[in-house]
Structure 1
Amino acid sequence: MLTLRPDDIRLDRHADDWQAALDQAAELLHQAGLVDPDYRDGLHAREAQSSTWLGNAIAIPHGTPESRRHVRATGVRVLQFPHGVTWHDGNRVHVLVTIAAQSDEHLDILRQLTHVLDREGVAERLAAAASPDAIAALLSKAVVEARLDADTLCLKFPARDRFELALAAAARLRQVGCVESDFIATVAGQEPLSLGQGLWLTTSHRGVTTPALSLATPELAINDASGEVNGVFCLAAQGDAHRGLLERIAGLLDSGGSEVLLDADAATVLARLSGESASAQTARVRVLNAHGLHARPAKQLIQVAREQRTKIKVRLAEGGSEAVSAASLTKVIGLGARRGQQLVFSAEGEGAEASLQALCDAVLGGLGEKVMPFEEGREHVAQVHDAPAPEPLPADQPHPGVAASPGLAIAPVFVMRAPRFEYPEHAGDSAGEIRRLDDAIRRGAEQLEVLVQSARGGEVAQILSMHEEMLDDPELHQAAREGIQEGQSAEAAWWQAIETAARAQEMLADRLLAERAADLRDVGRRVLGVLCHVEQPDPPEHPYILVMDDIGPSDVARLDTQRVRGILTARGGATAHSAILARALGIPAVVGAGARVLTLDNGTELILDGDRGRVTPAPSQERRDRAELSLEEHRRREREAWSTRFEQGRTRDGHRVEVAANLGNTAHAADAVARGAEGVGLLRTEFLFMAHAEAPDLATQIEEYREAVDALDGRPLVARTLDVGGDKPLPYWPVPQEDNPFLGLRGIRLALTQPEVLETQFHALLVAGKGRPLRIMLPMVKDVAEFRAAKAIFDRLLERLPETERATDVQLGVMIEVPSCALLAPSLAREVDFFSIGTNDLTQYTLAIDRGHPELSAQSDGLHPAVLRLIQMTVDAAHAQGKWVGVCGELGSDAQAVPVLVGLGVDELSVSARQVPMVKARLREFDLKEARAQAALALAQATSDDVREALEAR
């Protein structure tokens, strides 16, 4: 994110005209090494398209998209012109905030600047500022946002007088974290102030953490000696931040809109407090622009608004934002509308309906930018009418998807379409609806408990247990109860609470967390099914391939693995819980194949290839015969591999390659040994930390790690230290939100911020590994400095712990996941004991492709020659120092990749426990000479497709 620093600011500049000022800005960017000289033309071209004048004597010149090729690095330069420069649109400019941006980082600066545009006197202070610090302070200081939204309202509360309403309103502010106990105590001792029209006010600045406004209305009208009581406002005051809230109360009173509050729902209350008239016509529309309403689309919007015959206001539907003029650029930008959020336009008088339609059409049209429909849950809500039915899949033609779980399946399909839940939106008996909801939640929890008890595999049970916790979430319960109290039915209120939480999850930048929205909806549908008495259709008795829109974890847990041959979904990614569970159960799966798969008729025969990520409906006899031969050959090889699973991993000519197992839980170590694993090549220790509400202590960790050590019975254990961070957060170890958590504070970077946690883990592993071979590796290491920092902690422990109390056969290594680590392998190899290559992350970081991306994941192939060259560099550096190298990513179980990895010199392959027998069998199919030839052939190719084609042809 771009930020303004004093070093970026130049004072006391002079220019005869705006072109000269722009040239100075371009030259400063060039001198700083941020841009090439040709970027100047991009700045001028941008002004030719439209003015970058923002307001309050500020302009924000930046290049066109075409000129981004001239940007060397992202940065900003601020130029102060005390005497001002007349811009080409006639406005006076005192400050240029000139931006060199390689993508859209300038939007962060723009969002900061919108907070200062409406401050009186800013232009004069910018012109008179005598230091860079003063300029930076004026431009960067953001206004504290006061809170008013549905969560701060307490409507239809069963109170007997205005004092109880005041306390209810204060308590609501405390529940949402805006105030502390001191605030409630102060409010309790106050006499509410009459505002007229049956409204009252209490306020305090004590114990306020966030300025906010609450409104409590009575369940029944109150009339006492003090007069009529329609509602009590409770204001948490802080500095000047709450003044806008007071103005909104005053606006409500001026418009005489207080009478409607007594029986109003949250949406109506927020609309009246936003300044939206009760007589105004309104229209809602969703923002589709990728970066929300930043300057360019906002300018298009206000131009449309200014062309209308009536004045139009706009606000965000979410929360309780103030309705502002749709004709004001700074006001519209100040809304901070993001993609997916809804705008509410309002207008009164003649032509209002046509004006609102014009604004909605403009937003849906993209406001000058190319936009894509917004998917919300299972509906394309950006479209007014139902989307046309997709065309059926053609017979005997392969159709692509995302490879989610390996294997081949041939069977008729069973399409399980999402059930239709029909229910009334409103209900009169709120107490009865709450009882119905509580009963449905209880029955849903009982169903989940049964599934947990019968679940196959630890991952299934863990995820379903997480569903139990979701179902027990008090915030979900409270949100649903409030909806019921506002007149909704139990079904409508429950699903609204689920959808609100799921949408918030989907809007997270982190893909892994966003995909957990499917878990929330899975939990929600379970309760909805109980309420509506809807049950899933019974699957057929014969073997089948299950086809669904997006399969939930509880759907996977219910699968009869004796009949389900494969899983195919229209949506989803390779990292979704459903895909993880499919792999855990050994069921081939293809996900994200598009809506056309839902057009398949039940009983249609399908070939599902979970390795290549493709499906073929109604195959020809010839294609089916080929698939049957492949499947039978695969089954034969599986039987032979199982019978020889305890043999050592060796090539045909006896070259030794150790085959170990990747584990996500110490409880699975015994199963890995039973499948022929020669050790554990990757123990993901974060499972232990994620299973506890606080960091597990030394004794707990020792007990867990010892379970795996004992089960291995002398076989080596390679344990990865805690690998969490932005993409895998721990509730008791908060990390600031990051724009790109995969490139943020995670792995060893995060662990080194709390070295005592890392030291405790080292200690536990050393004690648990006493008398057994122990290997410890550090994740996400970028260079030797991070390794040395961790090793210093490790060495102090070795000195402190007597050899009789700890492991003595112990090695400390690093994971090669970051390209810099592979490039610097020679310097690392001199100090580490071993390398383990995490090909999943190494591939996505090398190719800049998210391996779970629904469109690009097929291109994230570890057999890309760039990735193979990094592996070769790592192996060569390690062997030069007498160190060993393992591979613990999915590439280690790829049948085509195994000989290439061996040919590159890899000493160990660590794969999922289920894959151990097959990898050992694959090793016995070639000799070392052939492996080296295949590695040389792969390195000589230009793309991963070329590599696979060349290997297949050989």
Structure 2
Amino acid sequence: MNHNKIKGIGASPGIEIGEIFFIKKNNISIIKKNSSNKPIDEINRLKNSISILEKKILGLKNNLKNKISKENLSIYDSNIEILKDPDLIEKTTHLIKSKNYSAEYSYKYCSEEYAKVINEIDDEYLSARAKDIKEISNELIEILLGKSSANINFSGPKILVSEKISTNEIASFKSKYIKGIVTAEGGSTDHVSIISKALEIPAVVGLKSEIKKLKNNDKLILNGQEGEVIYNPTQKQLKEYKIKKNILKEKFKNVIKKNKETVKTTSGELIKVNANIGSLNDAKKALKYGADGIGLFRTEFCFLNRQNFPSEDEQLKLYTKIINVLPKKEFIIRLSDFGSDKKVDYINQPYEQNPAMGYRGLRLGFKYYDKLLKPQLRALIRLSLNYNIKILCPMISDIDDIKEIKKAVINESDDLKLNKTSQIPLGIMIETPNVAMNAEEFIDHVDFFSFGTNDLSQFLMAADRTNENVAKYHEKAIPSIMKLIENVCNISKKKGKWVGICGEIASKKELLKMFIKIGVNELSISPIMIPEIKESIRKIKL
């Protein structure tokens, strides 16, 4: 038995050997209860601090926008949602007004009550969200108290160790300096675990009180595969784990090499496994992990943080650079899907009570046609002369929507006078129930369908996909979505057209056999998931 080995939970795979950098948290247990200020002044302090933290989180999200997927970036949107929860703010301000308590004490009390209620529900997902509430609460209280958690500096690669680490803290560090993450708290479904996997940082969580055995600058072996750490390792242990790390590295190389090929089931069925990307870095990951092509290029992610509309030439240059990472592969490029949870400074969007069902996607594109949609269409038409690209249309609700975009593509093609022999293949991203239920009305107007199941599930279940309070409904939407996919596959097969899935359920291993059985032709997923999904497909026999 190794007395210097501590067992935890493997949150992100990989083996690392390095020095510990121990992060010590500010002590915010002592908070002044009563305030000498007027309640209105305390409420203003609260509002100002919320605004400061919101800007900080948006900045941290921006730090990671070219490193992790859209789905994982939405974790930071959830953090803002917790921070600005109207019920929590209302209860806090009521306590300030009625008791003349300080803003920090009131917020701490109300957020702890909020987290306590959620924690009492026996649900692993909700338990993880209760931890997020505590983390956001701590960060806001630090701002109210004038303390700062941002002065954590370390030079060179280190293994970060702490009682707990927040997703905001991970985003504030340079990921190239983080060799691994070890925490006392946490579980495999925590947001910290999700972000660690996305950044390919090995992590072990849940060490509990045993973490006290780890000291700053000590040597540590972190084994994310087995969920364990070895502190002050012997020379024998160091040698053993260096060998294990090299074996793991070679095994990974072999898996990557194997996954450069298209994949078939044991019974011979072929299905494409493409990648979802939103940046140059994502495209490089798609190449690294063996994507058959790009099933969803989220173009709007390239133009979020700027002050003006991207020009035609600017878009052509950027798309060319990204496509040249995989120049021989198929690229399915979604037209910009701004609006809803992706707002930009250069588009004047009015306040909407239900932005997910308002001006977004092509609705917004046509409203700002000359500045937004037209330059993009022209860039893509020019791009199609040299590359295998297809256009994916977001937020199509009725037949007039698809007719309008088809007409726009034809008009811009004619205006460019490029002597193209054929139009770019055009597809619908099935996100609205009307298209999903009436595919036969659209089939003759498109070349393919791709299911955007994240939005489709929120419309089917009347459950906002950015609202964690109704997150459970999205899992329950899967049986209905599967019926819709099967129906669209049957209609498409008769017309010789294909169907893909680019939403979150595409990476659910338990659904792979059914996807293939009902006739899905393509799956598009996060690049890092490709080896695992391809390996699972190889084992399927219909």
Q: Same fold (TM over 0.5)?
A: yes
Cα distance in 1 for partners of 2:326, 2:465 equals 32
Aligned residue in 2 for 1:925: 539
RMSD: 5.1
- The 1:907/1:887 distance shift into structure 2, 3 A limit, reads same
SS in 2 for 1:770: coil
Query: Which residue of 393, 398, 402 corresponds with 1:783?
Result: 398
Kept in 1, the 8 Å contact 2:63–2:171? The answer is no
The alpha carbon displacement at 1:810 in A equals 2.3
The alpha carbon displacement at 1:566 in A equals 7.8
Letter aligned with residue 211 of structure 2? G
Kept in 2, the 8 Å contact 1:773–1:810? The answer is no
1:563 aligns to 2:169 (yes or no): no
Aligned residue in 2 for 1:678: 292
Kept in 2, the 8 Å contact 1:457–1:584? The answer is no
- The 1:642/1:820 distance shift into structure 2, 3 A limit, reads same
Kept in 1, the 8 Å contact 2:396–2:431? The answer is yes
Query: Which residue of 490, 514, 519 corresponds with 1:876?
Result: 490
Cα distance in 1 for partners of 2:138, 2:149 equals 16
Larger-gyration structure (1/2): 1
- The 1:773/1:864 distance shift into structure 2, 3 A limit, reads same
Kept in 2, the 8 Å contact 1:573–1:579? The answer is yes
1:665 aligns to 2:279 (yes or no): yes
SS in 1 for 2:306: coil
Cα distance in 2 for partners of 1:877, 1:778 equals 19
Letter aligned with residue 780 of structure 1? M
Kept in 1, the 8 Å contact 2:278–2:302? The answer is no
Cα distance in 1 for partners of 2:250, 2:482 equals 31
Aligned residue in 1 for 2:501: 887
Aligned residue in 1 for 2:384: 769
TM-score (norm 1): 0.38
SS in 2 for 1:688: helix
1:713 aligns to 2:322 (yes or no): no
Cα distance in 1 for partners of 2:251, 2:506 equals 18
Aligned residue in 2 for 1:28: none
The alpha carbon displacement at 1:718 in A equals 0.7
The alpha carbon displacement at 1:776 in A equals 0.7
Cα distance in 1 for partners of 2:276, 2:321 equals 15
SS in 1 for 2:390: strand
1:97-112 aligned at under 5 Å gives the runs none
Q: How far does the alpha carbon of each residue in 1:564-604 deviate from its partner, in whole angstroms, 9 at most, with x for none?
A: 2689669x997xxx78744531469999xxxxx99x53539
The alpha carbon displacement at 1:860 in A equals 1.9
Cα distance in 2 for partners of 1:569, 1:792 equals 52
Cα distance in 2 for partners of 1:730, 1:879 equals 39
Q: How far does the alpha carbon of each residue in 1:792-837 deviate from its partner, in whole angstroms, 9 at most, with x for none?
A: 1111112222335x79572111101112111011111111111111
Cα distance in 1 for partners of 2:376, 2:200 equals 32
Kept in 2, the 8 Å contact 1:651–1:925? The answer is yes
Deviates more, 1:887-896 or 1:842-851: 842-851
SS in 2 for 1:835: strand
Cα distance in 2 for partners of 1:457, 1:853 equals 24
Letter aligned with residue 752 of structure 1? F
Letter aligned with residue 601 of structure 1? S
- The 1:786/1:415 distance shift into structure 2, 3 A limit, reads same
The alpha carbon displacement at 1:557 in A equals 4.4
Cα distance in 2 for partners of 1:416, 1:794 equals 57
Between 1 and 2, higher relative CO (CA 8 Å, sep ≥ 6) is seen in 2
1:522-921 aligned at under 5 Å gives the runs 548=164, 551-558=166-173, 561-564=178-181, 581-582=195-196, 584-586=198-200, 600-603=208-211, 641-756=255-370, 757-803=372-418, 810-861=424-475, 864-921=478-535
- The 1:547/1:909 distance shift into structure 2, 3 A limit, reads farther
Q: Which runs of 5+ in 2 are unaligned?
A: 1-6, 17-21, 37-54, 81-101, 109-131, 214-223, 228-244
Query: Which residue of 420, 440, 448 corresponds with 2:28?
Result: 420
- The 1:573/1:915 distance shift into structure 2, 3 A limit, reads closer
Kept in 2, the 8 Å contact 1:522–1:552? The answer is no
The alpha carbon displacement at 1:520 in A equals 9.6
Cα distance in 2 for partners of 1:768, 1:775 equals 10
- The 1:808/1:679 distance shift into structure 2, 3 A limit, reads farther
SS in 1 for 2:468: coil
Q: How far does the alpha carbon of each residue in 1:225-280 deviate from its partner, in whole angstroms, 9 at most, with x for none?
A: xxxxxxxxxxxxxxxxxxxxxxxxxxxxxxxxxxxxxxxxxxxxxxxxxxxxxxxx
Cα distance in 1 for partners of 2:423, 2:290 equals 23
Cα distance in 1 for partners of 2:431, 2:421 equals 27
The alpha carbon displacement at 1:561 in A equals 4.9
Cα distance in 2 for partners of 1:751, 1:894 equals 32
Kept in 2, the 8 Å contact 1:688–1:696? The answer is no
Kept in 1, the 8 Å contact 2:274–2:523? The answer is yes
Letter aligned with residue 209 of structure 2? D
Kept in 2, the 8 Å contact 1:672–1:913? The answer is yes
- The 1:532/1:713 distance shift into structure 2, 3 A limit, reads closer
Q: How far does the alpha carbon of each residue in 1:867-898 deviate from its partner, in whole angstroms, 9 at most, with x for none?
A: 10011112112222111111111211211122
Q: Percent identity?
A: 26
Letter aligned with residue 180 of structure 2? R
SS in 2 for 1:803: coil
Kept in 1, the 8 Å contact 2:163–2:184? The answer is yes
Cα distance in 2 for partners of 1:902, 1:566 equals 40
SS in 2 for 1:734: coil
Cα distance in 2 for partners of 1:664, 1:519 equals 28
SS in 1 for 2:376: helix
Kept in 1, the 8 Å contact 2:66–2:280? The answer is no
Kept in 1, the 8 Å contact 2:256–2:288? The answer is no
Kept in 1, the 8 Å contact 2:271–2:523? The answer is yes
- The 1:843/1:770 distance shift into structure 2, 3 A limit, reads same
Cα distance in 1 for partners of 2:310, 2:158 equals 46
1:400-411 aligned at under 5 Å gives the runs none
Query: How many matched pairs?
Result: 421
Kept in 2, the 8 Å contact 1:649–1:656? The answer is yes
1:98-137 aligned at under 5 Å gives the runs none
Kept in 1, the 8 Å contact 2:11–2:193? The answer is no
Cα distance in 2 for partners of 1:655, 1:637 equals 26
Cα distance in 1 for partners of 2:428, 2:264 equals 25
Kept in 2, the 8 Å contact 1:893–1:911? The answer is yes
Cα distance in 2 for partners of 1:551, 1:837 equals 33
Q: How far does the alpha carbon of each residue in 1:305-363 deviate from its partner, in whole angstroms, 9 at most, with x for none?
A: xxxxxxxxxxxxxxxxxxxxxxxxxxxxxxxxxxxxxxxxxxxxxxxxxxxxxxxxxxx
Greater percentage in helix? 2
The alpha carbon displacement at 1:423 in A equals 10
Kept in 2, the 8 Å contact 1:719–1:777? The answer is yes
1:53-64 aligned at under 5 Å gives the runs none
Cα distance in 1 for partners of 2:401, 2:184 equals 42
The alpha carbon displacement at 1:709 in A equals 1.8
Kept in 2, the 8 Å contact 1:421–1:534? The answer is no
1:131-280 aligned at under 5 Å gives the runs none
Cα distance in 1 for partners of 2:211, 2:508 equals 32
Kept in 1, the 8 Å contact 2:23–2:160? The answer is no
Cα distance in 1 for partners of 2:138, 2:333 equals 33
- The 1:423/1:890 distance shift into structure 2, 3 A limit, reads closer
Cα distance in 2 for partners of 1:737, 1:773 equals 39
